[in-house]
Structures are given as structure tokens and as C-alpha cells.
Amino acid sequence: MSVLNFKNPDWYDEEDINIFRDAAYNFYKNEMAPHSESFRKNKVVDRKFWNQAGAMGLLCPTMPEEYGGVGGDYRLEMIVMEELERAEVDGFGLSLHNAIVAPYILHYGTEEQKQKWLPKMATGEFVGAIAMTEPGTGSDLQSVKTSAKKDGNGWVINGSKTFITNGGTANLIIVVADTGGEGKHSKSLFVVETDDLEGFRRGRILDKVGGEAQDTAELFFDDMKVPADSLLGPEPGMGFIQLMQELPQERLNIAVQGVANMEKALRHTIEYVKERKAFGRRILDFQNTQFELAELKTIATVAKTFTYDCAEKHLRGELDTVTASMAKYWVTDKECEIMDRCLQLFGGYGFMNEYPIARQWRASRVQRIYGGTNEIMKVLISRSL
């Protein structure tokens, strides 16, 4: 199945898209995958790969060309994510940089802000992150305590964030802060250039159950002074609304990654059960194995069909929060089910970290937690009923 069945803008055809897909895959597989072990050991992907990805056109592929991007549409973001999974590279936080951070700047930044940040995000000079979650609050974003107070011509930010993807590397961080005001109008987004910034400090790279190559980190802001033009949007108090508007794409990204992960697990499992023998037969020859794989392939196909339908809606500008929440919750629930059932077919080897299925099983668990937990997705869906 291919997302390329969706024919939209005519600036490129399927052949161009396939060239982009092959280039992405070859870069990940040939340049990055051989270093996977060291990424995991160091809990971070080497900084140089960001610049190399930029040179390959894999950073900001959907940003307009005048801001250094490729000027493509969401299909290219899907390819960037899908091929990363297919090439078996862990921990490279491209999708967050490309398909979450950059769109905030494109959609809410002034012309000067876009010119200032996006071209450097496209080259990898800036690596993006978004810092919403705090030690005391995650799901309930209205309770964010990090504060930003007016100070002369700029702002002073105080507080701390945790679980921040790309947090060990990022030098352009969108910070959610309280700027006073009532309820939904109390939050603002600040785009913070962190290089040599006084008052900015990184904490630990966190030790996680899975996805150990990703530099998920703590961040601290102690009287961190940022210029007036760090504020994203025309006035303070727009942060919560901006976050809500961007969430459908964030949730769709997670579903796209979930589907790619399912396909990868099935591929590994099918290979394994064809090789491994028990009771004089291949594991594949047991009817239980065949039925398991038939069911899992069906689930993966339904998940992909729904996710691609959401992607087509998104390409038409019609993906609503509720449908995106359904995709995020359902696909990631099923992703974890597939990981677990695939791992079972590996027997004891499935529990050994040297087998990719074990790492996938561990890494997939967070998909139900970040980007809004699956419970929060259900809260949003049920509100619409």
C-alpha cells in the first residue's frame, strides 16, 4: 500500500516522491544505522547527523522554499518518519523538529521570526524541541507553572521542564509559559535560542525503559532573559489556542510512526518464524503462528488504512482533533498489542535486547503516553459525542 495513491499538488509526481523516499532510506540505512549501538550507548544521536540530514533535504521538507525548506506537503513528513523505522534507526527526533516545532513558527511567527529560525532549522544549525511538560504537570497543560514576566523590552522566564524530546541537543526550544491572565488565555509560547543563553541549563538525559538513543532531557530556566521577539504570535495569551490547533498533526505523526513500527515488527517476526524450528518443524508451520500472523497483519492493515485516510484528510486541511485523537489512541494501542504478540513468537530470544523486537517492544510503550495520553484522547473523543 502506498500513500502516493493520493494525487495532490502537481509540483511533483510519484517519481519525485520515490526519489525522496529512496534518498531518505539510503541515508538512514547507510550513514546512520551502522552507528545505532553507539547512539543507544550515548543516549543521543550525534549532532553531525542533523546537519547531514539538513544537507539531504530531510529537515523541514514541508517548509516553503523561501524559508529553506523543500516546499513539499505532509507526504514528505510521512516518508521521513516511515523510512527511519524501515532503516532501523532509533532516537533521531526528526519528526518533532520537522512536523511539530517548525509548523508552530510557520503558522504563528512573524515574517522576521520565520526568516530568522526556519532556514537554520532546515540546515540543522538549529535543532528544535518543544517544552510543555513539567515535573508537576503533563496532561493538564493549563497548570503549567513556568512563568514569563515582562522585563523591559523582553521577558524573564523561570521554571523547569521534563521529558523533553531532543532536550539534550536542541538549541531552539519552544517553551510553554504562564504569562498571567485567565484560564485558556494564561499561556504563551516562546521560541528560545539557547546557545550561550544565561539562565538556561540542561539537566539529565533521562534513563528510559525504551528508545534509549533519544536524548529526552530535563531543562531548567533560572531568570532566563529572552528578547521580546521570542514571543510567538501577536500578543501573549495565545499559547493554549496555538497548542490546540497544532495537535492534530502531532497526533497523526504518532499514528504514522505506530504503523511503520507495526510493519517493522511483522517483518522481523515473519523472518524469524521461518528460520526457527521446534518439534522438527518451523515455528511458522504451527497453525497458531499462522493465525497469529494473519490476525496481526489484519490489524496492521486496518491501522494503516485508517492512518492514511487521516493523512489524506490532513492534506486537504480537513483532519479534526477528534479523528486525529482516534488515530493516535487506537493505532498506538494496537501497536503495543502487535509488539507483544510478535515478541511472544520469538520465545526467549524476544526478551533479549540484542533482538530488535525486544527494543521495539520497549520503545513502543511510550507511544500510548506522549503526545497526550491515550486516556486524554478518549476524553477528547467522548466530549464530541
- Contacts of 85 by beta carbon, 8 Å cutoff, 6+ apart: 257, 260, 261, 263, 264
Encoded one letter per residue, x for contact with ligand FAD by CB under 6 A and - for no contact, window 190-209 reads: ------------------x-
Q: How far is the CB of 301 from ligand FAD (least distance, A)?
A: 28
d(CA 224, CA 173): 13
Among 44, 118, 131, 174, binds ligand FAD (CB under 6 A): 131
- Only one of the segments 126-134, 220-228, 244-252, 339-347 lies at the binding site for ligand FAD (rule: CB under 6 A); that segment is 126-134
Q: How far is the CB of 325 from ligand FAD (least distance, A)?
A: 13
Strand 154-164, strand 200-205: pairing: unpaired
Q: How far is the CB of 375 from ligand FAD (least distance, A)?
A: 3
Helix (H, G, I), strand (E, B) or coil at 319: coil
Which one-letter amino acid corresponds to residue 341? R
Beta carbons within 10 angstroms of residue 88's beta carbon: 16
Strand (E) or helix (H) holding 80: helix 74-86
Among 62, 95, 133, 367, binds ligand FAD (CB under 6 A): 133
Q: Of 208, 239, 244, 274, which Cα lies nearest the Cα of 372?
A: 244
Helix (H, G, I), strand (E, B) or coil at 245: helix
The yes or no reply on residue 105 touching ligand FAD (CB under 6 A) is no
- Only one of the segments 44-52, 107-115, 163-171, 322-330 lies at the binding site for ligand FAD (rule: CB under 6 A); that segment is 163-171
Helix (H, G, I), strand (E, B) or coil at 231: strand
Question: What is the number of residues in the chain?
Answer: 385
The yes or no reply on residue 169 touching ligand FAD (CB under 6 A) is no
Which one-letter amino acid corresponds to residue 360? Q
Among 8, 18, 139, 305, binds ligand FAD (CB under 6 A): 139
Q: Of 51, 41, 33, 37, which Cα lies nearest the Cα of 94?
A: 51
The yes or no reply on residue 132 touching ligand FAD (CB under 6 A) is yes
Cα three-residue angle 23-25-27, rounded to 5 degrees: 65
Nearer to ligand FAD, 72 or 371 (CB): 371
Are the beta carbons of 188 and 237 closer than 8 angstroms? Answer: yes
Helix (H, G, I), strand (E, B) or coil at 97: helix
The yes or no reply on residue 17 touching ligand FAD (CB under 6 A) is no
Interface with ligand FAD in residues 343-372 (CB under 6 A): 366, 369-370, 372
The yes or no reply on residue 332 touching ligand FAD (CB under 6 A) is no
The yes or no reply on residue 38 touching ligand FAD (CB under 6 A) is no
Nearest-CB residue for ligand FAD: 138
Interface with ligand FAD in residues 215-274 (CB under 6 A): 216
Q: Which residues are the active-site residues?
A: 250
Name the site residues for ligand FAD (rule: CB under 6 A): 130-133, 137-139, 163-165, 208, 216, 366, 369-370, 372-373, 375-376, 379
